[in-house]
Copies of this chain bind each other. A is one copy, B any other.
Amino acid sequence: MVLSNLNRERVFGMEIVSKNKCFGGIQGVYKHYSTVCQCNMTFALFLPPSAKDTSVPVLWYLSGLTCTHENAMVKAGAQQKAAQLGIALVFPDTSPRGKDIPDHEDYDLGQGAGFYVDASEDPWKQNFQMKSYIVQELQDIVMTNFSVDENAQGITGHSMGGHGALTLAFLYPEKYRSVSAFSPIVNPSKSEWGQKQFKAYFGDNPECTDQHDATKLLAQNNYPGDILIDQGTKDQFLDLLRPREFISVMNNTGQKGTFNMREGYDHSYFFVASFIDDHIEHHFQKLLS
């Protein structure tokens, strides 16, 4: 393990997989044993140059189905704006992984498809505790080891990760003081991207299902800040994402925020990259205030 002098991180019990200088900051990849998921987990963290001198705000980026920590780290183009504004970025993995971890032959269940929930059913419940992993365990690891400000945290994500960002922000608004999403699955209890996985992870417990549906959560309580969502009109998964249901609840409840339908854009990272700067600006404004 090689510790860099370039920032103030204290790395206890973590393996540094890689560290690359990037826009004057450090893009790192770290591996650690997760007691919550009972396996090794990998995450990426970008520290802007200003983290050398002070604790910086942090934006959590939750990725979509099939992704690891790596996809957004290399494809979203988020580091440039984060370096300019002085925001750290965390890119967690999307599920526990490994040959001893339960999996399913479908791409949208099991490894790569944790849906940011705590499973209560076999064979998933022993490892698939992604909500607790993100909200508690990785949270503690990041706050303990890196120069980030616990009181200035925002959360965003793409697709399944957009679902994760919205639901976790709605459940824990004191922790996540700003929220945004790209092409989120906003109504999973009514979609094949949701029903199938919630049935596997929760069985027939409707309470768990409702607790992880952004549209249902918003219908119960407004989020205290502005929400920013970008969605492409040419997204090939529109019928699974169900943006109209969420927009309708936003309008009915008077939830503050913006749901942009972006003409001609699809579900890819080319879409995310096109608007990531706007999202980082959004979080920066909220976390500064």
| Interface membership of A147, Cβ < 8 A | no
Q: What is the chain B residue whose CB lies nearest that of A267?
A: B20
Distance to closest chain B CB from A50 (angstroms): 16
Q: Which residues of chain B are near A264, meaning CB under 8 Å?
A: 6, 21
- Among B21, B24, B74, B273, contact of A234 (Cβ-Cβ < 8 Å): B21
Q: Which residues of chain B are near A265, meaning CB under 8 Å?
A: 21
- Among B21, B234, B273, contact of A270 (Cβ-Cβ < 8 Å): B21
Q: What is the chain B residue whose CB lies nearest that of A277?
A: B80
Oligomeric state, in copies = 2
- Among B27, B77, B266, contact of A77 (Cβ-Cβ < 8 Å): B77
How many angstroms between the C-alpha atoms of A234 and B273 in the bound complex? 28
| Interface membership of A268, Cβ < 8 A | yes
Chain A 260-283 interface residues, beta-carbon cutoff 8 Å to B: 264-266, 268-271, 273-274, 277
| Interface membership of A124, Cβ < 8 A | no
Q: What is the chain B residue whose CB lies nearest that of A262?
A: B21
| Interface membership of A187, Cβ < 8 A | no
Query: Can you list, as one digit per residue, whether each of A72-115 has a CB less than 8 Å from chain B (1) or not (0)?
Result: 00110101100000000000000000000000000000000000
How many angstroms between the C-alpha atoms of A77 and B264 in the bound complex? 20
How many angstroms between the C-alpha atoms of A77 and B79 in the bound complex? 10
How many angstroms between the C-alpha atoms of A270 and B28 in the bound complex? 11
How many angstroms between the C-alpha atoms of A268 and B70 in the bound complex? 14
Q: Which residues of chain B are near A271, meaning CB under 8 Å?
A: 20-22
Distance to closest chain B CB from A275 (angstroms): 9
B6 touches A273 (CB 8 A): no
With contact pairs A74-B75, A80-B77 given, residues A274 and B23 touching in the complex (Cβ less than 8 Å) = yes
Q: Mostly helix, strand, loop or mixed at chain A's interface?
A: mixed
Q: Which residues of chain B are near A80, meaning CB under 8 Å?
A: 77, 273-274, 277
Q: What is the chain B residue whose CB lies nearest that of A265?
A: B21
Chain A 1-60 interface residues, beta-carbon cutoff 8 Å to B: 6, 20-24, 27
Q: Which residues of chain B are near A74, meaning CB under 8 Å?
A: 74-75, 269
How many angstroms between the C-alpha atoms of A264 and B26 in the bound complex? 10
Distance to closest chain B CB from A265 (angstroms): 5
Distance to closest chain B CB from A267 (angstroms): 9
- Using A20-B270, A21-B234, A74-B269 as known contacts, list a sample of 7 further A-B pairs with CB atoms less than 8 Å apart, ordered by residue number in A: A20-B268, A21-B270, A21-B274, A23-B273, A23-B274, A75-B75, A77-B80
In the assembled complex, 16 residue pairs joining A and B whose CB atoms fall closer than 8 Å, in A order, are A6-B264, A20-B268, A20-B271, A21-B264, A21-B265, A21-B266, A23-B273, A27-B270, A74-B74, A74-B75, A74-B269, A75-B75, A77-B77, A79-B270, A79-B273, A80-B277
Distance to closest chain B CB from A82 (angstroms): 12
